[in-house]
Amino acid sequence: MQEFLTAHFWIAVGQIILIDILLGGDNAVVIALACRQLPANLRTKGILWGTAGAIVLRVVLIAFALTLLQVPYLKLVGAALLLWIGVKLLVPQDDDEHSNIQSSDKLWAAVKTVIVADLVMSIDNVIAVAGAAAGAGGEHQLPLVIFGLLVSIPIIISGSQLVLKLMDRFPFIITAGGMLLGWIAGTMAHSDPAVVGWLPQTREWAYGLGVAGALFVIAVGYLQKKRSPVKA
């Protein structure tokens, strides 16, 4: 119980919530598209059941990811993926990625669409959240993940438009998110079992690699943004 009262725990919770909001904003769009043809009296049920199924599936995936991150070299792979995700977050994307989300006028068909689409779109989210939870250490990584999801999912669903407007108005939020992913990538790589014997396992080294990861995302993201034909 004492671990839940530490600053380290709540910093990790804040990281997970920020990751979920930044990388999960599309989930609200998916839910709206999948449920748009449901009768009015079934839309709330479709949203609630689809969201519940997506949360349960994501918790299971993150639990597997937390276990797999103990295997040598997988944290290094996860760190590389996080760096790529962080760069991708900073580069403007095309808006037609949701055009293949099909809606249905049947409740359970819409729920299935929400869950499957969330599964496909949440791989980056799963890796990032697992990395943040693993960085928190301790024996309560999964409760940490569940708590972070329970806080952030309602924000995404009920306030997605507000969150998107805030990100458009204050671009530094997205930049901070990209740097956070780079930070998590660096600290994750530092604790990979394959490099534990090669790198000093000190907080200074972990923070140094975290800063290097954050700077890498900013630098590469800036270069990619300059080359991107898509307007921000």
Q: What SS3 state is found at 38?
A: coil
74-90 vs 7-35: helix crossing angle, rounded to 10: 60
> Long-range contacts: 76-81, Cβ < 8 Å, 24+?
76/189, 76/192, 76/194, 76/195, 78/127, 78/130, 78/131, 78/185, 78/188, 79/131, 79/185, 79/186, 79/188, 79/189, 79/192, 79/213, 80/185, 81/124, 81/127
User: Hey, CA dihedral for 24, 148, 145, 178, is it positive or negative?
Assistant: positive
Q: What SS3 state is found at 103?
A: coil
Identity of residue 139: E
pLDDT tens, N- to C-terminus, the chain (232 residues) = 555 556 777 777 788 877 777 776 666 666 666 777 778 777 778 777 877 887 788 788 888 887 877 788 888 888 888 888 888 878 765 545 555 555 566 777 777 777 776 666 667 678 788 877 776 655 667 777 777 777 777 766 665 556 656 777 888 878 888 888 888 888 888 888 888 778 887 888 888 999 999 999 999 988 887 876 655 4
Place of tokens 């991708």: 88
Q: 22 vs 6, 92, 165, 180, CA distance in Å?
A: 25, 14, 12, 11
| Model pTM above 0.75 | no
Residue 218, pLDDT score = 93
Residue 215, pLDDT score = 95
CA 60 to the chain's CA centroid: 15
Residue 81, pLDDT score = 84
* Cβ 89 vs Cβ 174: under 8 Å: yes
Residue 78, pLDDT score = 82
